[in-house]
Structure 1
């Protein structure tokens, strides 16, 4: 039977100082309830900017202590299911997102979920792509706001982090101290208005631990690809570091030279944008599993 973690247990920053609200072991499945990124404060398009408590943004449910996870290990998180509530919200306004310098008023859009669609307006229905914006472990040092991504994960806003995906995180502290939140019904690469379709949800995950792994930054594995996720001050820095992580991954597992590994990524790899609106920007370097199989890599880790 799955363990259950209610949304009432949440944090606004990821840190080793937090006491765990749940203990789990490798192989355990956990159902995790989440608020939306606004702590469910917005219930109407008439909600004013001033009425929102902006200190209560991006709550992440947790943290969960994973028994046996120690510094230097890899935490494995399999996303089994994302169950959405029936209404989400989007927001943008002055100084928010990419177009904030040209938008002169705060604007909200309540978006109904009907079947497999999000109803954007009378003309446009968008296919659902449930994904998790904030997911990660306690960072190596200090406390990091759940609104900021990093080597520990956090607010990576990567649309590949959806049902069926598996996440790999470096463990920096005993128990890993895993949390997640900020679920989206759908989101495009970039998250350019500063929000996806923000929505409360229930996420079911299965946890595991790889002992003594060698991992510096998060990795996401899907049915047909794997990608390194890197967050830095600029997209250029993030993209370059993601490529470097992928090159090192290939060098450790194949007989490729650094020249051939780099050329292979230039010919068949994908450098992609995850988000460009958070305090640090997130990019990913992705390769197909078909390519990995040709290199003799049949298991990501």
Structure 2
């Protein structure tokens, strides 16, 4: 085992540091990209807690329901020509004191609360079955009930023009509305579709594809109570959050989740005692290892290889034992198939593994 392969399991809880508030506004948001040259909007120390606002780029699907003053300020304050090469509104970046390439950023997601009572799902032109539906996009607007943690469809409408401009504002009162999903209740599970550190590449990197930096992973399990570990590639880490969702299934088949803005509280912890090659999710009951590639088979293979590393380097299993275990107890799933670079993941239950000191 290398010098930086201490298991994150069984670690002591660090003392909570300072509490910071990070508002979403044109000065604190960047639209569509990660960039290692982007100046941080907040500087924190390991252990600090951040209360941040994450704004959906799909608020314009129902502006009368989903756009408050904060959202309008971002839509009006960041010009369309500066929303590239991706589509997501990102809050940040956050500089973590002492973070260096080769370290890990542990992000403990503490709470995620919807900022409005509504969300939107776009059956988009990048969805898996767009051509099966006469190349017509459909928007379904949902009402959120935070007491029951369910969402129900209010109405749907069709848009013939492709969603090509990030932050498109549709004047739905002027469109034909359809009834949708009568009697259906969708469980809410608020999470971040996109979050991550700045990659070590020159210039802007699109927020659309996921990668080793994190980005648009679109795993619905990245919600309150879960912890993510991101490999740090640049000084300060430069961590940003965006693409807030209130519900999504594995695959994100139509192209989007139920998109809705969130208030997100999280703690950042700088880890210099271990390393992992890809974004790693620690949920209350399991570990989830991610793999990405333009080819879904290769994405699954990448997830398998990194799961073996988790079990060998961090759990002490032999490679042969780890290979057997992921076959008999690991669940291979499709995270998403719509983000250019596709995602697979392997879930390993935590209760089957012996405790590690």
Common topology (TM > 0.5) = yes
Aligned equivalent of 2:150:
117
**Bigger fraction of residues in helix:** 2
Could you tell me how far 1:99 is from its partner in structure 2? 0.9
Shift of residue 212 of structure 1?
4.8
What CA distance in whole angstroms lies between the structure 2 residues aligned with 1:260 and 1:42? 50
SS of 2:302 mapped into structure 1: helix
- Of residues 255-264 and 10-19 in structure 1, the stretch that sits farther from structure 2 once superposed is 255-264
Q: Deviations over 1:229-254 (max 9, x none)?
A: 12211211111111111112222234
Kindly tell me: are residues 100 and 297 of structure 1, through their superposed partners in 2, closer, same or farther at Cα, counting changes over 3 Å? Answer: farther
Larger Rg: 2
Match in the other structure for 1:29? 49
Q: Deviation at 1:41?
A: 2.3
Find the counterpart in structure 2 of residue 187 from structure 1: 248
Aligned equivalents of 1:235, 1:282: Cα separation in 2? 7
* 1:145-184 equivalent positions in 2, closer than 5 A: 145-184=206-245
Deviation at 1:57, TM superposition (A): 2.2
Which residue of 274, 291, 301 corresponds with 2:352? Answer: 291
Q: Distance in 2 between matches of 1:31 and 1:196?
A: 23
1:156-183 alpha-carbon deviations (Å, 9 max, x no partner): 0001101100000000011100001111
* Residue aligned with 1:101, SS: helix
State the SS of the aligned residue for 2:291: strand
Task: Select the residue among 78, 86, 91 that pairs with 1:61.
Answer: 91
Give the TM-score, by structure 2 length. Answer: 0.77
Tell me the TM-score normalized by structure 1. Answer: 0.90
1:65 and 1:205 mapped to 2: Cα distance?
14
| 1:145–1:257 distance in 2 versus 1, CA, 3 Å | same
1:71 counterpart (101, 116, 132): 101
Give the corresponding residue for 1:41: 60
1:228 to 2:259 alignment: no
Contact 1:72 1:213 in 2 (8 A): no
Q: How large is the RMSD of aligned CA atoms in angstroms?
A: 1.8
Counterpart among 136, 141, 153 of residue 196 in structure 2: 136
Q: Which residue does 1:108 correspond to in 2?
A: 139
Question: Residue 83 of structure 1 is aligned with which of 109, 113, 119?
Answer: 113
Alpha-carbon distance in 1 for matches of 2:349, 2:29: 35
Is contact 1:78–1:207 with CA below 8 Å preserved after alignment?
A: yes
Determine if contact 2:34/2:207 at 8 Å carries over to the other structure: yes
**Offset, 1:273:** 1.1
Unaligned runs of 5+ in 2: 1-17, 65-79, 154-180
Shift of 1:107: 1.4
SS at match of 1:208: strand
Query: Number of paired residues?
Result: 287
Unaligned runs of 5+ in 1: 46-52
Further displaced range: 112-121 or 76-85: 112-121
Match of 1:204 among 243, 256, 265: 265
The structure 2 residue matched to 1:247, chosen from 300, 304, 308, is 308
Secondary structure class of the residue paired with 1:16? coil
